[in-house]
């Protein structure tokens, strides 16, 4: 389980294909602290550390993960939001994030305001996912508050710290991001017969 509070940005250093799997080697400030078999969210996708080297860690994405997420569009040099699993004795500063991406979305607006940024995302509502005004959504692993919620799109507003310390500052109109919808909202939607 994660919180959606990004610890650091990693950089993709190597991409290797093996069958339908892709191995990503990432450099980051936390790579030397990781252990083999540890779960780490990469742009909101929970992946297992499979090997370690000096300042580097490698994770593997299988075909199902690549089909559901934006990991397949990463290239060498891509910046990746990283978060280690939440410790049970820690504060929950964001919201409950599983690291199980529900679907991807397209960025349809980046609006630089006076001291903040608005991002708007459009997603396929036919998959049954919903957002709630002032509820939470996880975008590329970042816990964010939903505003201007509609059936198939929503906005988030970003403070300068989040803009600088996550890969949102690289997201442009037309780019694809990972979405994980709020787990409580997903259960309510299922109970109401909407998913």
- Domain ranges in the chain are 8-84, 103-191
The set of residues, in sequence order, having a beta carbon less than 8 Å from that of 149 and lying 6+ positions away, is 131, 132, 133, 135
Of 85-89, 103-107, 157-161, 170-174, the poorest mean pLDDT is in 85-89
Segment holding 184, helix H or strand E: helix 183-191
What's the pLDDT band for 89 if we cut at 50, 70, 90? confident
Q: Domain 103-191, CATH 3.30.420.10 — does that match?
A: no
User: Is it true that 8-84 and 103-191 share their CATH fold?
Assistant: yes
pLDDT at 36 over 80: yes
Q: How confident is the model at residue 194, as a pLDDT?
A: 61
The three-state secondary structure class of 65 is helix
Residue 98 reports pLDDT greater than 70: yes
Nearest to 97 by CA among 137, 154, 133: 137
Arithmetic mean of pLDDT, 134-159: 96
CATH class of segment(s) 8-84 = mainly beta
Encode 70-81: b = buried (16+ Cβ within 10 Å), e = exposed.
Answer: bbeebeeebbbb
Range name among 25-34, 114-123, 182-191 with the lowest pLDDT average: 182-191
For the segment 102-114, the average pLDDT, to the nearest whole number, is 97
Q: Work out the average pLDDT over 154-181.
A: 97
d(CA 35, CA 53) in angstroms, rounded, equals 11
Contacts of 175 (CB under 8 A, 6+ apart): 106, 107
């Amino acid at each position: 389980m994660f919180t959606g509070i990004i610890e650091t940005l990693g950089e993709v250093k190597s991409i290797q294909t093996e069958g339908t799997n892709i191995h990503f080697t990432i450099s980051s400030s936390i790579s030397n602290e990781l252990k083999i078999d540890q779960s780490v969210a990469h742009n909101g996708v929970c992946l297992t550390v499979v090997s370690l080297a000096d300042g580097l860690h490698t994770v593997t994405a299988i075909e199902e993960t690549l089909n559901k997420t934006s990991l397949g569009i990463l290239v060498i040099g891509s910046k990746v939001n990283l978060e280690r699993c939440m410790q049970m004795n820690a504060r929950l500063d964001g919201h409950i994030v599983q690291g199980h991406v529900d679907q991807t979305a397209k960025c349809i607006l980046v609006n630089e305001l006076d001291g903040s940024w608005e991002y708007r995302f459009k997603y396929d509502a036919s998959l049954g996912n919903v957002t709630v005004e002032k509820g939470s959504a996880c975008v590329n692993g970042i816990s964010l508050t939903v505003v201007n919620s509609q059936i198939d799109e929503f906005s988030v507003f970003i403070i300068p710290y989040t803009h600088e310390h996550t890969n949102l500052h690289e997201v442009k109109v037309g780019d694809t991001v990972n979405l994980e919808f709020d787990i409580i909202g997903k259960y309510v939607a299922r109970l109401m017969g909407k998913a």
